[in-house]
């Protein structure tokens, strides 16, 4: 990835946040969507979503391919993410390095990210560069194979391995991938980190990656979203013209959707360059769009949203047990995670776990007040309307809605789901999904520090 989010669940959290950031309290009362995108399908199967926004001259283009690390087979781990690099290395009519050169010369900027479920290429540019942007995207969708060569592949393999090392070199840089590895056991589509394994990344051949591209990078497996200073009819005509010669090799290969192996409680250990011990508790929860998703999100804010929230007070504001902590709930297409991270300010890790357990048990035993839930919901949805002010914010949101619900204008109904959450719902999901016996833990301690949780076993990333 270029400047993409870290691997593992973070992109999904970002996607979920983007979705939430699109709804508004005002819209909740009226389940009409504050977006007005139109959806079109080209003859070759490419789905096109367009929304006009004329506040500035900018246009955002998001192109999402339905391929992520979960689609990788044996020997392919890291290939979806590698493509996020290779797609910039040239195609039939765009020589090496010229994708960025031409787009930049036209005033544009671009980036990409990969998750377990998708790979998204996104760019912004002045409206006068629309045809240029479509030329570049269509050329690499249809004709990458004519431009990619072994030298470019070899270089990007090195860059990806360096990216992996760089991410893992910082304190706690491995935590997220280790938690996912334990939480999603062997056989689960999310078991292998998005960035892949060293052996696989080193072993990719040009034929192998082009085979992967032919299977997944096809119009029927893609959604193109355009938002900004465009006229819908003219923009659609431009999209149609530039993507008309992109071949339609048929539907994409079937995806791995489940069933997924159940979580197995485990205690993992990472030895890291840290001075303070930390512990993570993580639970498997629900996928995007699940009825319990909103209540789990609200629960995370009931626990941690600054002063006066339950875990924040118990660990930090009222009792200085932690030097850093965080709670988040993140969902992906076929599974979800609820996670609590705590860095100790001195107490042993078992004591911190005890406090977390007790706090969660109290939520189950006695539901939070309506005021707590209202406050959490307010914080959860804060800033949502701000996201709608930029073309890129809207484009990310429309894409999320389309992928999750098949409707880019899902914001009104999405918000209504959050407005419907009650204190009893919050208590129920805490009891259903966050049982102590269902969680995995990760202790992170310095070399030679015996202060991990009892029984914690080292986990290596391949």
312 vs 271: CA distance, rounded Å = 26
Structure token pair of residue 442:
């990760």
- For residue 285, give the nearest of 117, 177, 439, 421 by alpha carbon: 439
- 55 vs 351, beta carbon nearer other proteins: 55
Q: Supply the minimum distance, in Å, between the C-beta of residue 58 and other proteins.
A: 7
- 149 vs 170, beta carbon nearer other proteins: 170
Kindly state the greatest CA–CA separation across the chain. 65
Q: Supply the minimum distance, in Å, between the C-beta of residue 50 and other proteins.
A: 9
Structure token pair of residue 443:
């202790």
Task: Establish whether the linkage from the previous residue to 259 is cis, with ω within 30° of 0.
Answer: yes
What is the three-class DSSP state of 38? strand
Handedness of CA 66, 72, 78, 79 (dihedral sign): negative
Q: Supply the minimum distance, in Å, between the C-beta of residue 425 and other proteins.
A: 20
| Cβ neighbours of residue 95 closer than 8 Å, sequence gap 6 or more | 147
On whether the CB atoms of residues 9 and 176 are closer than 8 A, the answer is: yes
- 30 vs 97, beta carbon nearer other proteins: 97
- 382 vs 438, beta carbon nearer other proteins: 382
Q: Supply the minimum distance, in Å, between the C-beta of residue 79 and other proteins.
A: 18
- 183 vs 444, beta carbon nearer other proteins: 444
What is the CA 273 to chain-centroid distance, rounded? 27
Q: Supply the minimum distance, in Å, between the C-beta of residue 378 and other proteins.
A: 6
- 41 vs 214, beta carbon nearer other proteins: 41
- 93 vs 359, beta carbon nearer other proteins: 93
Q: Supply the minimum distance, in Å, between the C-beta of residue 383 and other proteins.
A: 7
Structure token pair of residue 217:
């990078």
226 vs 229: CA distance, rounded Å = 9
Q: Supply the minimum distance, in Å, between the C-beta of residue 397 and other proteins.
A: 15
DSSP string, 364-426: HHSPPPHHHHHHHHHHHHTTHHHHTTSHHHHHHHHHHHHHHHS-S--HHHHHHHHHT--HHHH
């Amino acid at each position: 990835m270029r400047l993409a989010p870290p691997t593992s669940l973070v992109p999904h959290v970002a996607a979920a946040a983007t979705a939430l950031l699109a709804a508004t309290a005002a819209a909740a009362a009226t389940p009409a969507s504050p977006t007005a995108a139109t959806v079109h399908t080209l003859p070759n199967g490419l789905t096109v979503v367009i929304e006009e926004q004329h506040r500035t001259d900018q246009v955002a283009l998001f192109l999402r391919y339905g391929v992520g690390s979960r689609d990788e087979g044996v020997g392919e781990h890291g290939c979806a993410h590698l493509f996020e690099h290779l797609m910039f290395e040239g195609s039939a009519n765009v020589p090496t390095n010229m994708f960025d050169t031409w787009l930049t010369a036209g005033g544009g900027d671009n980036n990409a990210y990969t998750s377990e479920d998708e790979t998204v290429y996104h760019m912004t540019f002045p409206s006068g560069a629309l045809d240029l942007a479509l030329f570049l995207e269509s050329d690499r969708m249809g004709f990458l194979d004519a431009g990619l060569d072994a030298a470019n592949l070899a270089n990007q393999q090195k860059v990806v391995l360096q990216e992996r090392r760089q991410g893992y070199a910082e304190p706690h840089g491995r935590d997220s991938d280790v938690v996912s590895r334990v939480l999603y056991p062997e056989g689960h589509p999310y078991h292998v980190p998005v960035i892949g394994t060293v052996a696989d990344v080193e072993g990719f051949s040009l034929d192998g990656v082009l085979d992967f591209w032919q299977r997944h990078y096809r119009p029927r497996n893609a959604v193109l979203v355009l938002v900004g200073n465009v006229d819908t009819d003219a923009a659609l005509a431009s999209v149609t013209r530039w993507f008309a010669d992109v071949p339609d090799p048929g539907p994409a290969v079937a995806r791995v959707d489940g069933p997924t192996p159940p979580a197995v409680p485990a205690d993992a250990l990472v030895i890291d360059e840290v001075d303070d011990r930390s512990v993570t508790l993580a639970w498997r929860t629900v996928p995007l769009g699940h009825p319990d998703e909103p209540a789990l999100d609200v629960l995370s804010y009931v626990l941690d949203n600054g002063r006066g929230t339950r875990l924040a007070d118990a660990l930090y504001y009222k009792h200085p047990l932690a030097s850093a902590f965080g709670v988040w709930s993140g969902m992906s297409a076929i599974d979800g995670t609820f996670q609590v991270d705590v860095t100790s300010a001195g107490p042993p890790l078992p004591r911190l776990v005890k406090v977390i357990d007790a706090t969660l048990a109290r939520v189950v035993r006695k539901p939070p007040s309506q005021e707590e839930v209202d406050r959490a919901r307010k914080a959860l949805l804060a800033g949502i309307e701000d996201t709608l002010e930029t073309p890129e914010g809207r484009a990310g949101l429309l894409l999320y809605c389309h992928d999750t619900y098949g409707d880019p204008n899902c914001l009104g109904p999405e918000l209504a789901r959050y407005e419907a959450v009650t204190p009893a719902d919050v208590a129920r999901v805490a009891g259903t999904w966050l049982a102590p016996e269902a969680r995995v833990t990760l202790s992170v301690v310095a070399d030679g520090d015996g202060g991990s949780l009892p029984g914690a076993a080292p986990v290596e990333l391949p």
